[in-house]
């Protein structure tokens, strides 16, 4: 069956993130000068204008910064998933990443919950980094 | 000659049947009628208008991408000297009032018309999905974050965690706002509701339920600003614009620096209070953009109406309802009066009416100064104005 959910409009800033996911790696950017890590993959570190950045593979471990449980879907393609969880995860490296938390117990999700990355190959071309309770 | 900017006319478009535009209305004549009504309040006509600010989501892709040009054409305004199409979400009109303040005060133009119209309900234009997974929205759209509600829900869960606020806190806001709406014949929903009803309403995106979310309605409005000097010859009681501020921080909620702290509103309100020479404690009432109940909780803390994390006590026991200690969102808000998609202009309209006085049972007592704060996007942009019925 065709994949009917939104697919990312991959751009030069985000390509390493999505390419990395296909290889089973969670890629984030790091400022060579300050060591600050971040996503989304802007060319400039916020607040630092003369720095160079590099892509690094994150550990994939982190904790829930915040979350919501969708009781209504974001369009028909997500209807069958309800209820499902969207999380903002603070990675061990510091960057904040948004994705889904895959769990059978949506009511147990809370701020501060330890999580780790998993990779969901939803099509031949698209693998989405998601999270599960650690 | 005082070029002190004042509001001299306001109008909101009539709706019926839970917020539908009247038969024969479309997005342009709705704005024309509101503009003429607001001008007529002051005894002005379209020929007096030499500045125009407008924002909306209509006519796109197409001529709606240049709304100031189109409304200049449609309204027959002759070569305006100031045009503003700034669109940073529903806060836009509060920014426009700030920009108009500077343009009027500095003498660029004399009389500014701020306009808004929307037919989103009649056109069934809203849904929780369907937004492109572009730029920083690649990640949340792929994940199915219902938008914009899901973003606000994330802020709410973080605020609950950081400060001990709760669904009951948010329900206090929904109930108080509905109580004000019950006194506004123009409100789409006027039947009083209880805390328990808000808590039991259909869940949408935890922790937000149906009654934590704004309405989806049609609607529009107009605001006319000019100089204090010009207002001396006009029919309406002028309301002084004393200060303004604006800011922005992100598009995607994941990049909001601290989801439980609305820093854009802290900064915009501090600028507005400083320009006005007033403090948060001088405000007698507030009109706060209530896209969601959590928007209000975050904003009241950011505006300094209470300390950070103290919003739960500020709203407890219906303190912001009719008869309470601090009148807030006295038109019934986006939660119960109307929400055509970009609600900010209604903050200015209602604050002006309250400061003029004579609203009957809906009149908040002893109001001399009001703070209006608009939020745009998903807590992305913010704009504040301070209004008063007292000559500065």
A14 to chain B, closest Cα gap in Å: 8
Q: Test B143 with A99 for CB contact under 8 angstroms.
A: yes
Domain contains B234: yes
Q: pLDDT, tens digit, for every residue of B245-293?
A: 999 999 999 999 999 999 999 999 999 999 999 999 999 999 999 999 9
In this structure, the answer to whether residues B265 and B324 fall within a common structural domain is yes
Q: Closest partner residue to B130 among A75, A84, A99, by Cβ?
A: A75
End-to-end CA distance of chain B: give it in Å, rounded.
14
B140 occurs within a structural domain: no
Residues B305, B261 within the same domain: yes
Domain count, chain A: 1
User: Per the domain annotation, does B82 fall within a domain?
Assistant: yes
Which residues of B are less than 8 Å from A111 in CB distance? 157-158, 161
pLDDT at B389: 98
- For residues B189 and B258, membership in a common domain is answered with yes
Whether residue B354 is found in the same domain as residue B285: yes
Subunit contact B259:A66, Cβ cutoff 8 A:
yes
This model's pTM is above 0.90? yes
Residues A46-96 pLDDT 10s: 666 656 888 999 999 999 999 999 999 999 999 999 999 999 999 999 999
Mean pLDDT of B104-124: 97
Would the pLDDT of B67 be above 80?
yes
Whether B161 and chain A come into contact, CB under 8 Å, resolves to yes
Q: Is residue B134 part of a domain?
A: no
B21 vs B244: CA distance, rounded Å = 31
Residues spanned by the domain of B300: 147-211+245-388
**C-beta separation of B353 from B10 below 8 A:** yes
H or E element at residue B271: helix B263-276
State the smallest CA–CA distance between residue A39 and chain B in angstroms.
9
* Residue A45, pLDDT above cutoff 90: no
- Cβ pair B129:A66 closer than 8 A: no
CB pair distance less than 8 Å for B259 and A14: no
B139 touches chain A (CB under 8 A): yes
Q: Per the domain annotation, does A92 fall within a domain?
A: yes
- Of residues A5, A9, A69, nearest to B134 (C-beta): A9
How many Å lie between the alpha carbon of B79 and the closest alpha carbon of chain A?
41
Q: Is residue A6 part of a domain?
A: no
Residue of A70, A96, A123 for testing the chain B interface, max B β-carbons within 10 Å: A70
Question: Looking at the structure, do residues B325 and B375 belong to the same domain, yes or no?
Answer: yes
Crossing angle for the helix pair B67-75 and B27-42, nearest 10 degrees?
60
What does pLDDT average to over chain A? 93
Same domain flag for B292 and B226: no
Which residue of chain B is at minimal alpha-carbon distance from A73? B146
pLDDT in tens, A94-109: 999 999 999 999 999 9
Across B260-278, b (16+ Cβ under 10 Å) vs e yields bbbbbbbbbbbbbbebbeb
What pLDDT, on the 0 to 100 scale, is given for residue B148? Answer: 96
Q: Residue A32's pLDDT band (boundaries 50, 70, 90)? A: confident
In a mutational test of the A interface, the residue from B140, B154, B162, B203 whose CB has the highest number of chain A CBs within 10 Å is B154
When divided into structural domains, chain B yields a total of 2
Residues sharing a CB contact under 8 Å with residue A63, sequence separation 6 or more, in sequence order = A89, A90, A112, A113, A114, A115
Is B254 within 8 Å of A96 when comparing Cβ atoms? yes
Residue A4 included in any domain: no
Whether residue B191 contacts residue B182, with contact meaning beta carbons closer than 8 Å, is answered with yes
Claim to verify: residue B252 and residue B374 sit in the same structural domain = yes
Q: What is the CATH number of the domain that holds B335?
A: 3.40.47.10
Residue A1 has pLDDT above 70, yes or no: no
In a domain, A124, yes or no: yes
Same domain membership, residue B87 and residue B68: yes
pLDDT attached to residue B130: 80
Q: How many residues does chain A have?
A: 134
Note whether residue A2 is domain-resident: no
Write down the ipTM of this complex. Answer: 0.96
Q: Who has greater pLDDT, B19 or B125? A: B19
CA distance A104 to chain B (A): 16
pLDDT tens for each residue of B172-222: 999 999 999 999 999 999 999 999 999 999 999 999 999 999 999 999 999
> Is B326 within a domain?
yes
Which residues on B lie below 8 Å from A6 (Cβ)? Answer: 129, 131-133, 141-142
Pairing of strands B112-118, B51-54: parallel
Inside any domain, residue B56: yes
- CB-defined contacts A:B, below 8 A: 123
Query: Would residue A51 count as lying in a domain?
Result: yes
CA dist., res. B272 & res. A33, Å (int): 37
A121 part of a folded domain: yes
Are residue B202 and residue B339 in the same domain, yes or no? yes
The domain in which residue A78 lies consists of: 15-133
Q: Looking at the domain assignment, is residue B156 inside a domain?
A: yes
Mean of the pLDDT values across residues B143-166? 98
Contacts of B216 (CB under 8 A, 6+ apart): B19, B120, B121, B126, B339, B341
Contacts of B294 in chain A (CB under 8 A): none
Residue B142 lies in a domain: no
Mean pLDDT of chain B: 97
**Distances from the Cα of A37 to the Cαs of A25, A30, A44, in angstroms?**
16, 4, 11
Cα distances (angstroms) measured from residue B307 to each of A4, B201, B267, B298: 45, 29, 15, 11
Same domain, B264 and B330: yes
Q: Which residues of A touch B205 (CB under 8 A)?
A: 68-72
Tens-place pLDDT, residues B288-313: 999 999 999 999 999 999 999 999 99
User: Hey, is the C-beta of A77 within 8 angstroms of any chain B C-beta?
Assistant: yes
Residues 227-266 of B with CB under 8 A from A: 252-255, 259
Residues B347-390: tens digit of each pLDDT:
999 999 999 999 999 999 999 999 999 999 999 999 999 999 99
Indicate yes or no: CB of A74 within 8 angstroms of CB of B146. yes
A35 in contact with B at a CB cutoff of 8 Å? no
B264 lies in the same domain as B158: yes
Q: How far apart are CA A105 and CA A122, in angstroms?
A: 22
Task: Looking at the structure, tell me whether residues B278 and B361 fall in a common domain.
Answer: yes
A88, β-bridge pairs:
A66, A98
């Amino acid at each position: 069956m065709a994949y009917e959910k939104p697919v990312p409009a991959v751009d030069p800033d985000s390509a390493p993130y999505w390419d990395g996911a296909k290889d089973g790696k969670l890629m984030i950017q790091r400022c060579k000068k300050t060591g600050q890590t971040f996503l989304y993959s802007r060319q400039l570190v916020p607040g630092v204008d003369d720095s160079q950045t590099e892509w690094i593979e994150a550990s994939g471990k982190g904790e829930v910064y915040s979350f919501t449980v969708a009781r209504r879907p974001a369009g028909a393609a997500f209807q069958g998933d309800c209820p499902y969880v969207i999380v903002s995860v603070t990675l061990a490296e510091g960057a904040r990443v948004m994705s889904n938390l895959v769990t059978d117990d949506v009511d147990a999700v809370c701020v501060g919950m330890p999580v780790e990355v998993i990779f969901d190959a939803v099509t031949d071309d698209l693998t989405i980094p998601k999270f599960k309770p650690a | 000659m005082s070029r002190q900017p004042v509001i001299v006319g306001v109008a909101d478009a009539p709706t019926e049947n839970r917020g539908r535009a009247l038969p024969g209305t479309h997005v342009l004549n709705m704005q024309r009628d509101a503009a003429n009504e607001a001008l007529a309040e002051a005894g002005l006509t379209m020929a007096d208008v030499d500045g125009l600010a407008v924002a909306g989501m209509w006519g796109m892709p197409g001529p709606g991408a240049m709304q100031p040009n189109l409304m200049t054409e449609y309204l027959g305004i002759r070569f305006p000297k100031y045009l503003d199409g700034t669109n940073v979400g529903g806060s836009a009109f509060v920014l426009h009032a700030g920009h108009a303040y500077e343009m009027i005060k500095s003498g660029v133009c004399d009389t500014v018309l701020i306009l808004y119209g929307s037919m989103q309900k009649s056109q069934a234009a809203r849904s929780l999905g369907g937004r492109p997974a572009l730029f920083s929205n690649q990640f949340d759209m792929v994940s199915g974050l219902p938008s914009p509600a899901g973003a606000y829900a994330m802020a709410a869960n973080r605020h609950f965690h950081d400060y001990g606020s709760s669904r009951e806190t948010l329900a206090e806001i929904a109930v108080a706002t509905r109580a004000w709406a019950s006194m506004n014949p123009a409100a789409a929903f006027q039947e009083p509701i209880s805390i328990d009803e808000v808590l039991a309403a259909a869940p949408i995106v935890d922790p937000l339920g149906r009654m934590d979310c704004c309405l989806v309605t049609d609607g529009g409005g107009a605001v006319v600003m000019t100089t204090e000097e010009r207002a001396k010859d006009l029919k309406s009681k002028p309301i002084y614009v004393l200060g303004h501020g604006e800011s922005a921080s992100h598009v995607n909620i994941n990049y909001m620096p601290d989801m439980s702290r609305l820093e854009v509103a802290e900064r915009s309100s501090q600028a507005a209070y400083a320009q006005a020479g007033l403090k948060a404690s001088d405000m007698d009432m507030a009109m706060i953009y209530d896209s969601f109940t959590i928007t209000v909780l975050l904003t009241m803390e950011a505006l300094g109406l209470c300390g950070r994390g103290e919003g739960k006590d500020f709203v407890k026991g219906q303190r912001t309802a009719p008869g309470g200690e601090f009148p807030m969102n006295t038109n019934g808000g986006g939660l119960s009066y109307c929400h055509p998609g970009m609600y900010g202009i209604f903050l200015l309209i209602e604050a002006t009416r309250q400061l003029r006085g004579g609203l009957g049972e809906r009149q908040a007592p002893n109001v001399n100064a009001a703070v209006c704060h608009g939020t745009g996007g998903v807590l992305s942009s913010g704009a504040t104005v301070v209004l008063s019925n007292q000559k500065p």
